[in-house]
A and B are shown apart, each in its own frame.
Chain A
Amino acid sequence: MADGPVAELLLRRLEASDGGLDSAELAAELGVEHQAVVGAVKSLQALGEVIEAELRSTKRWELTSEGEEIAREGSHEARVFRSIPPEGLAQSELMRLPSGKVGISKAMSNKWIRVDKSTADGPRVFRVVDSMEDEVQRRLQMVQRGQAEKLGEKERSELRKRKLLAEVTLKTYWVSKGSAFSTSISKQETELSPEMISSGSWRDRPFKPYNFLAQGVLPDSGHLHPLLKVRSQFRQIFLEMGFTEMPTDNFIESSFWNFDALFQPQQHPARDQHDTFFLRDPAEALQLPMDYVQRVKRTHSQGGYGSQGYKYNWKLDEARKNLLRTHTTSASARVLYRLAQKKPFTPAKYFSIDRVFRNETLDATHLAEFHQIEGVVADHGLTLGHLMGVLREFFTKLGITQLRFKPAYNPYTEPSMEVFSYHPGLKKWVEVGNSGVFRPEMLLPMGLPENVSVIAWGLSLERPTMIKYGINNIRELVGHKVNLQMVYNSPLCRLDAKPRPPPTQEAA
């Protein structure tokens, strides 16, 4: 029985008392440690309304161990006085006594003894009076009897200064009967068992209450990566909007599909070694669609399809150079080229989310590889207003409703617009994506009909994810240096949910 004999005794005493009892007094009466009574009070409290206990704190004077010794054997000065015979004692001998050093000065100032330095064999101590009253011992004994209150403030503080007396705070309980008071209590059950259910004994048994403030035990489970949870949501959004997923499972791309097909000139800075990963092996693309390549070459070097072209010497060798794709637009170009070969033209909506690679300087927000999200619509007579309308629907699904559009320059879209959204936290407009209408110089050489427009937009997957999950360093999100605890702890991704208020300062 967890509640033990002390609890039982407590209950019995309480039954007999009128009103209640004090835990410290009870401990004294039962001759047990006060802590044992406190334990009993706490375990009875846990049973509910059996008892009521009110915490009281009282201050008490207690003797120190030296004080107890003095109460028993007398003060040092008294002991010095008593040790001196009528014929006196050599001071050197007196100093050897345990109380000698402390007692001699006190006894002198009490004028109980005197020192005679004129004797032949060194100073000698003699009694001055025949008898004395040991006030210190008497006062300490009063405290011991619980009569500390009878001493004056000055007397108590003098004893305290001599480290004979100390004031202690005692926490006691005033225990009284509770509304369900009973002297016959039984042990509480912790958990419901199959036996209790079958025997029905649960009906008669008390159950120990749960501590609902404690944390539960987390389930053993696997977890999905936060960035890929966001990827799933973006896929879902595109699918809800009727967009078909493009194949993007080709990290290696030729310069032709990555740049030339997009009407990005061969001297463009993006084609620089400083920005793009080129391949040593396989260094060159083995096959290119040569008919189409000829049309692309002509458009770059001479123009055509209503364009002046860039008027430079377009080189096939440059187009053959293999690289790690710098954007998924290379995959979009392949898909649009395939769409152009299908006659008659059928309108299409496409999307992709996959990795792209840049040979750039790395920092807290830039890695050599990241994920690009891209949406494309191809149809007759698409306008800039359509592009903005699609973007509005797309960003609304992300929970972003305040949009505005800034003119911009992209090598392969014209018109181009950067998409800005108002960030209430930063109190300013921030760029959330880039968009535009693919240039005719890109579409017409593919063989798409002249009145077909293709609108497109793109954004990175990492940036919205970092904002969503409050991550400042991209390395904490992507790559092997990720903190798995962060992966374990990351919540569901609901992009259109209202952002939570910023977390209050909390230990990591």
Chain B
Amino acid sequence: MPTVSVKRDLLFQALGRTYTNEEFDELCFEFGLELDEITSEKEIISKEQGSVKAAGASDVVLYKIDVPANRYDLLCLEGLVRGLQVFKERIKPPVYKRVMPDGKIQKLIITEETAKIRPFAVAAVLRNIKFTKDRYDSFIELQEKLHQNICRKRALVAIGTHDLDTLSGPFTYTAKRPSDIKFKPLNKTKEYTACELMNIYKTDNHLKQYLHIIENKPLYPVISDSNGVVLSMPPIINGDHSRITVNTRNVFIECTGTDFTKAKIVLDIIVTMFSEYCEKQFTVEAAEVVFPNGKSYTFPELAYRKEIVRADLINKKVGIRETPENLAKLLTRMYLKSEVIGDGNQIEIEIPPTRADIIHACDIIEDAAIAYGYNNIQMTLPKTYTIANQFPLNKLTELLRHDMAAAGFTEVLTFALCSQEDIADKLGVDISATKAVHISNPKTAEFQVARTTLLPGLLKTIAANRKMPLPLKLFEISDIVIKDSNTDVGAKNYRHLCAVYYNKNPGFEIIHGLLDRIMQLLDVPPGEDKAGYVIRASEGPAFFPGRCAEIFAGGQSIGKLGVLHPDVITKFELTMPCSSLEINIEPFL
């Protein structure tokens, strides 16, 4: 969930009133936000870098507010204020208009070289805007929030904003060889080629995270004006020439990306949020984008969409009984201008360009419920009549684990993920013989594979509890995973029961006795016949020679028991003899 940091006093000033922290927290809760933290720049720096560095920092109170991940329109002070003011019916939702320029329309021409790397671009102009320090900071911060969230760290969309008065259109969006791109980037004093920049930014804490997006491509995207001035090399860095400042009056905005829908949403959000500060409030100057196929589009779209939802559907889905008129009022408070039409049961809802999150009637229904107040909804119990059933495998597991404890064994709970070493090397097996499922992106060796046996987890538990009085008698009933091409995903869980006895003597007879007890509980008699169970001398790399037996039940091998090999004991950092038992319990369902 994105967190937006706003100055408290600025927020209250914009809301036209002050709140206590508790009151504001309450308002957030009702609206679906969360007042996460009350802090200041000074506090943040002092927490991260120590109080010495924080000495000169501002102690203006900051509210850190958690915003739902799909509400891009609430990612800045301007949007938060507008949302809350409409919610509290203090203002009417503004109408955003795209207008044609008095003079020539700004043009962005996309060449076909971009197709393989970053094919889409949209653009718009904010004309006669008036920044202040706070507005400017908010403008930069909103771009950063959008980059981190909907833009997926600039992979899907990257935003560039420029001082239009320093440039002259038309603009060209193309892709060139890195060595052919040369410009002075933001915050640098001289020109560099793209190759040089990529090297320089490898050590830049902020920019290095974006390099991978284009790094290994033969051509890099670049936007330049009619004089060849580079505006930006998306998604990495803008040019210094067209940088915006607090004094910039006309802003050219371009968004490039791999996802056309998201690029349009991002552009809409930026212009709707900041057209508030334009001379003609809430108007945005159009720009024309010409695609390589020659087709030309005008942006921003700023599309208003109409949906019709029946009032009784809203009532039925939420569990309330409101008149259509009241429902329309509730929706209007959520920035969705609504009115009752037709037979008096239909509500026509206008979805503004700021609410890209509304894609279905259910989104509208949720907003009606939020405005009604979740906590005002009458709680009722559904009349759904059902008979409960346990999942048979879990039912058997529950019964068995109680009787395992009754037999004097203590239950442990170990991880399903582990290292290759745990299930292979340490047990004297080659990893290729385990049929284990392998993880492609583990952050540490602890998460290389899914376990194929419960034994390593139990032995590691003993190793962590060597101070406990002996004997240690442990068990676990849980799932292991084996590759299996007969299943849809190519792997299958098996429910295993594993028990170990760890003492100064191996105690094979105790583990053997436990097997006899388990079979007694499962109503399987000893014997060679089809219904019975039997153990037969066997071997296994994990066991001491001559001290291992395979367990057969109903003629089927279900596992092994025996005294562990001294090498296994040593590799798990243990010092005492140990016997173990591991069976698959699924045949007993």
List A residues at the B interface (Cβ < 8 Å). Answer: 220-225, 227-228, 232, 235, 238-239, 241-254, 267, 269, 273, 277-288, 303, 305-312, 322, 324, 347-349, 355, 357, 359, 367-369, 377, 379, 381-386, 388-390, 392-393, 404-409, 414-417, 437, 439-441, 453, 478-485, 487-488
Contacts and interface: CB of A to CB of B under 8 A. Distances in A.
Contacts of A244: 386-390
Contacts of A310: 261, 359
A285 B490 contact: yes
B588 interface: no
A221 B408 contact: yes
A271 B377 CA distance: 34
A369 B478 CA distance: 14
A306 to B, nearest CB: 6
Nearest to B403: A222
B527 interface: no
A80 B375 CA distance: 104
A278 B440 contact: yes
Contact of B483 (A238, A281, A416): A281
A307 B351 CA distance: 14
Given A254-B488, A440-B362, 7 more contacts: A225-B413, A385-B377, A406-B34, A409-B68, A409-B357, A482-B464, A484-B412
Interface residues of B, number: 99
A480 B411 contact: no
Contacts of B380: 383, 385-386, 389
B361 A278 contact: no
A254 B488 CA distance: 9
Contacts of B405: 221-224
A288 B156 CA distance: 28
A229 B261 CA distance: 49
Nearest to B480: A251
A481 B461 CA distance: 6
Contact of A273 (B398, B441, B465, B495): B441
B374 interface: yes
A175 to B, nearest CB: 45
22 contacts: A225-B413, A235-B390, A244-B390, A250-B487, A250-B489, A250-B491, A251-B416, A254-B488, A277-B439, A286-B489, A312-B261, A349-B384, A355-B416, A377-B382, A379-B382, A383-B316, A385-B320, A386-B380, A406-B374, A409-B71, A478-B413, A480-B414
A223 B401 CA distance: 10
A235 B411 CA distance: 18
Interface in B433-471: 437-443, 446-447, 450, 457, 460-461, 463-465, 468
B131 interface: no
Interface string B468-483: 1000111100010101
Given A306-B361, A324-B439, A252 B491 contact: yes
B448 to A, nearest CB: 9
Contacts of B493: 249-252
A267 B457 contact: no
Most buried by B among A228, A241, A285: A228
Contact of B377 (A283, A324, A388): A388
B391 A246 contact: yes
A390 B381 contact: yes
B381 A389 contact: yes
A12 to B, nearest CB: 50
B489 A282 contact: yes
B379 interface: yes
Contacts of A308: 359-360
Contacts of B446: 368
A224 B443 contact: no
Contacts of A392: 379
B532 to A, nearest CB: 27
Contacts of A285: 488-490
A366 B285 CA distance: 48
A279 to B, nearest CB: 6
Interface string B62-80: 0000001111000000000
